């Protein structure tokens, strides 16, 4: 169930109660509840994982009643899908993926930094990974999650190619983009359990150096 008319700001923490507003419409109250519930779901996915979350846990984190939660999301699966779509929207409406801001041109090593900072380094990416794994195991939930992911990854990869000044008509280009995304995905997982706070950044810098050296051969994207 897609979210409608959501603000395209950064993901806030659900524990922050909204400021008091007078004469809010029913639509505004409903939108606020959906946003808080989605943020609480992502927080719970990050902190305790998909297998342990429940509607009761989400309601508690979002500071809403069970009735208010189930009114917006009658089933757990609808809640999970809505939270995933909320996360994807936060990526889509942020630079450099926001179509309204235009897409910059970058070298590969510059783009790696942007992708890491915007998509893979934030804790919420672990929520996305939890749901990617859930999509493999739950057919009913998986169909909707895979559909949302497919729409996002198509847009993401096209914009990455545009930023790099290439097209995806070439198989080598498509492979090159996916290699870098897989590296960042793996680094995000490693970061989640590595006790050394700077380890991920050091490995990222080493990867960028490898890319710069490879680009000198003229056989890889610059």
DSSP per-residue letters across 181-222: HHHHHHHHHHHHH-S-TTHHHHHHHHHHHHHHHHHTTTSS--
User: Looking at residues 21-28, what average pLDDT do you find?
Assistant: 74
pLDDT band at 7 (very low <50, low <70, confident <90, very high): very low
| Residue 113, pLDDT above cutoff 90 | yes
State the Cα–Cα distance between residues 174 and 167, nearest whole angstrom: 8
Q: What mean pLDDT, rounded, does the chain reach?
A: 87
User: Out of 43-47, 84-88, 190-194, which region has the weakest mean confidence (pLDDT)?
Assistant: 190-194
User: Looking at residues 196-209, what average pLDDT do you find?
Assistant: 92
Which pTM does this prediction carry? Answer: 0.82
Is residue 70 within 8 Å of residue 153, measured between CB atoms? no
The pLDDT, as a whole number, for residue 133 is: 86
Is residue 106 within 8 Å of residue 26, measured between CB atoms? no
| Residue 14, pLDDT above cutoff 80 | no
| Residue 8, pLDDT above cutoff 50 | no
The pLDDT, as a whole number, for residue 81 is: 94
The pLDDT, as a whole number, for residue 13 is: 59
Q: Residue 148: CB partners within 8 Å, gap ≥ 6?
A: 81, 84, 85, 88
The pLDDT, as a whole number, for residue 86 is: 95
Domains annotated on the chain, with CATH: 26-215 (1.10.357.10)
Give the tokens for residue 41.
Answer: 């779901």
What confidence tens digit (pLDDT) does each residue in 117-152 have? 999 999 999 999 998 888 887 778 889 999 999 999
Sign for the CA dihedral angle at 113, 119, 125, 129 comes to negative
pLDDT band at 29 (very low <50, low <70, confident <90, very high): confident
Write the DSSP string, 35-95. Answer: HHHHHHHHHHHHHH-GGG--HHHHHHHHT--HHHHHHH-SSHHHHHHHHHHHHHHHHHTST
Q: Residue 77: CB partners within 8 Å, gap ≥ 6?
A: 138, 140, 141, 144
């Amino acid at each position: 169930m897609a979210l409608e008319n959501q603000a395209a700001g950064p993901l806030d923490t659900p524990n922050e109660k909204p400021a008091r507003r007078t004469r809010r419409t029913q639509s505004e109250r409903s939108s606020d509840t959906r946003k808080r519930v989605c943020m609480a779901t992502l927080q719970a996915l990050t902190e305790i994982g998909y297998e342990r979350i429940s509607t009761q846990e989400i309601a508690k984190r979002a500071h809403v009643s069970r009735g208010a939660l189930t009114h917006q999301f009658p089933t757990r699966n609808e809640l999970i899908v809505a939270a995933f779509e909320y996360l994807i929207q936060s990526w889509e409406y942020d630079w450099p993926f926001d179509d309204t801001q235009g897409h910059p041109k970058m070298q590969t090593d510059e783009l790696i930094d942007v992708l890491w900072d915007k998509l893979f380094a934030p804790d919420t990416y672990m929520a996305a990974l939890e749901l990617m794994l859930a999509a493999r195991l739950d057919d009913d939930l998986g169909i909707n999650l895979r559909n949302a992911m497919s729409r996002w990854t198509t847009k993401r990869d096209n914009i990455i190619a545009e930023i790099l000044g290439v097209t995806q008509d070439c198989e080598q280009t498509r492979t090159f983009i996916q290699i870098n995304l897989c590296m960042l995905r793996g680094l995000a997982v490693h970061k989640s359990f590595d006790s050394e706070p700077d380890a991920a950044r050091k490995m990222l810098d080493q990867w960028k150096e490898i890319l710069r050296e490879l680009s000198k051969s003229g056989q890889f994207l610059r």
